[in-house]
Amino acid sequence: APVAAVVAALAAGPAAAQPLGQRYAVLVGVNEYDHPKLLPLQYAVNDVTELAGVLAKTGYATVLLTADAGKKAPALAPTRANI
């Protein structure tokens, strides 16, 4: 629900027209952690992927770091070094 509220607010657009500089977003989505006490998540990657699309439509330059993206391009893996 918190992600849905952010998505809705961003989709509504800026409250007042004002000149903006370039905006950037580095989004990290991790469903499975390499730690025995952290349970897998179901929707983190889906949520961050959707948020990247919404932010891109509002003028953000986005970088999406997920395990799936990292399989295609190692620089997009959600690792400490890439963040």
The token pair that represents 73 in the structure block: 């391009």
For 25, phi then psi, to 5°, come to -140, 125
Q: Is the pLDDT at 23 greater than 90, yes or no?
A: yes
Task: Establish how many alpha carbons lie within 13 A of residue 11's alpha carbon, considering only the half-sphere containing its beta carbon.
Answer: 10
Give strand ranges (E) for 1-83: 23-29, 60-66
Q: Which amino acid is at 81?
A: A
For the chain, what is the mean pLDDT?
85
Contact 13, 55 (CB under 8 A): no
- So what's the pLDDT on residue 5? 57
Q: How far apart are CA 25 and CA 39, in angstroms?
A: 26
- Digit-coded pLDDT (tens) for 45-79: 999 999 999 999 999 999 999 998 999 999 999 99
Q: How confident is the model at residue 39 (pLDDT cuts 50, 70, 90)?
A: very high
